[in-house]
Amino acid sequence: MNQEQMKQAFTDKYGAGSAIRVFHAPGRVNLIGEHIDYNGGYVLPAALEFGTALAVRANTDGMIRLASVNFPELEGEFEVDSIGSDHTGEWMDYPLGVMTVLKQKGTLLSSGYDLLFFGNIPNGSGLSSSASIEVVTGYAMLSMEQGHIDTVEIAVLSQKAENEFVGVNCGIMDQFAVANGLKDHAILLMCDTLEYKHVPFRTGQYRIVIGNTNKRRGLVDSKYNERRSQCEAALSALQPHVENLNYLAQLTPQQFDLLQVQIEDAIVRDRARHVVEENARVLASTQALQEDDLQRFGELMNASHESLRDLYEVSCEELDVMVEEARRISGTIGSRMTGAGFGGCTVSLVHEDSVETFLQEVGAAYEERTGLKADFYVCSAGDGVTEWK
C-alpha cells in the first residue's frame, strides 16, 4: 500500500479527523557474515525495498489502539498509563514492547494514539518483519512526540523490546539494518561496538533474488545455542595463548591457522574456523564492492555458503538444493543461505536478463527435489526507516 492507501485504510478503520502521518521501515537481508554477530565481527546486511507501513494519529482519549491489516481479527486497546504491564502473546507485543522500552527510558507518551500497520514482508522467514514493525513503531512514536530522532538509538531500543518484552534472543543486526539502511548501499556493521559505514552496492544489471525455502524451521533454538557455546569453548581454548582476545572474530585466518591446534575438539575447531574466515570474507566483500567487483563478491557469497554447510553445519537439504539450483543458472554470480539456517531463505545475485529463467527453473527444480514450493523476491537495497511525505 502507498501513502494514500494507508491513509484511506486508516480512515476506514478509525474515522476521519486530524492529520494522519505514515511511516515505513523495510525488511532486511544479510548479504554475508553469518553467525558472526555474537562473535564480535562484521556483518554486511542491506535494507530491502519492501517492509512495514504504519499510519498513526494522536487521539484524545488516552488509549493506544493497535490494528494490522495483516491480522484483521487481532486488535487491541490499551491505556497509555498501563503500557508495560500488558502482554498479549500476539503480534501486538512488538509495538507494545517498543512503547514499553520508550517509557522505561523516560519518553512518556503525551497522548493516546491510533495505529494501523500493514506489512508485505513474509512473517517468520528470516527477512525480519519483526525488526521492521519494531523500528517503524519506535520511529513513529518518537516523531510524534519529539523532533530529533536517532536511528541508531531506535535500533537499540527495538532490539531491547524484542529481547525483553517479546522474549526473543536476537542480536542487533536486524534492527540496525532496518533503521539505518540506505538505497543502493549495504551496511558494514560491527555488532559489538555499533561502528558502521554504508558501502556502495552498485548492483548495476544484477538483482538481489531472495528465495524462501518455506521449510519449517525446527530445533533452531537448541542448535543456535549449541553453536554459541561451541564458539565460547573455542574462545576459552585460545585465550591463554593470545593477549586481549575477547572474541573469535578478532583473529585473522593466518593467526587462526597457527593457533588452531590448541582447540582439541575437531568440531569446535571447525566452528571457530568458520567464524574467523567468514569475518575475513565480510571485509573482503566490502573491498570488492568498493572496487565494483561483483564477480568477486559472488565468489565470496559462494564460499560463505560452503563454510556454513560444511564447517558450521547450519544449512539443510532445502537450502543446499536451492543454492545448487541457483548456481546452475548462467546469470547467477553468487548464491548462499542467509540468516541463522536450518531453513529460511537464500540470497543470490542474478543478472537481470536471467531473473525470469531463474524464477522458473530454480522454482521448478526445487519443488521437484524437495516437494516444497519456494517463494522468490526480486529486490534491490532500499532505504531505512523513514516518514512518507
Does residue 34 have a known ligand-binding role? yes
130 is an interface residue for Mg ion by CB under 5 A: yes
Which residues, in sequence order, are bridge partners of residue 334?
A: 349
Cα separation of 268 and 325, whole Å? 30
Q: Quick one: which segment of 97-105, 123-131, 242-250, 287-295 binds ligand ADP (CB under 6 A)?
A: 123-131
Backbone torsions φ then ψ of 375, nearest 5 degrees: -115, 145
Cα separation of 247 and 225, whole Å? 17
Q: Which is nearer to Mg ion, 52 or 180 (CB)?
A: 52
Q: Which is nearer to ligand ADP, 130 or 151 (CB)?
A: 130
Query: Within positions 46 to 85, which residues make up the interface with ligand ADP, using CB under 6 A?
Result: 52, 68, 70-71
212 is an interface residue for Mg ion by CB under 5 A: no
Q: Which is nearer to Mg ion, 128 or 230 (CB)?
A: 128
CB 23 within 8 A of CB 138: no
Does residue 129 have a known ligand-binding role? yes
380 is an interface residue for ligand ADP by CB under 6 A: no
Angle at 255 between CA 252 and CA 259, to 5 degrees: 135
Residue 133 contact partner, candidates Mg ion, ligand ADP, none, CB within 5 to 8 A by sort of partner: ligand ADP
Which residue is closest to Mg ion by CB? 130
Q: Quick one: which segment of 30-38, 77-85, 127-135, 316-324 binds ligand ADP (CB under 6 A)?
A: 127-135
Min separation Cβ 95 and ligand ADP, Å: 8
**Grid coordinates of 36:** 558472526
Q: Which is nearer to Mg ion, 130 or 158 (CB)?
A: 130
* Alpha-carbon distance values, 57 to 69, 116, 120, 173, 265 (Å): 16, 9, 22, 30, 58
Applying CB under 6 A, among 17, 124, 200, 218 the residue interacting with ligand ADP is 124
Does residue 317 have a known ligand-binding role? no
Applying CB under 6 A, among 40, 45, 97, 126 the residue interacting with ligand ADP is 126
Applying CB under 6 A, among 2, 82, 88, 123 the residue interacting with ligand ADP is 123
Question: Does 174 qualify as catalytic in the annotation?
Answer: yes
Helix residue ranges, H only, the chain: 3-14, 93-104, 129-145, 151-160, 173-180, 220-238, 253-259, 266-290, 294-310, 317-328, 355-370
Q: What is the maximum span of the chain, computed from C-alpha positions, in angstroms?
A: 70
Applying CB under 6 A, among 130, 212, 250, 279 the residue interacting with ligand ADP is 130
Which residues, in sequence order, are bridge partners of residue 346?
A: 211, 337
44 contact partners, CB below 8 Å, separation of at least 6? 30, 31, 32, 33, 186, 187, 188, 189, 199, 282, 285, 286
Residues designated catalytic: 174
Q: What are the residues binding Mg ion (CB under 5 A)?
A: 130
Binding-site residue positions for ATP = 68, 124-130
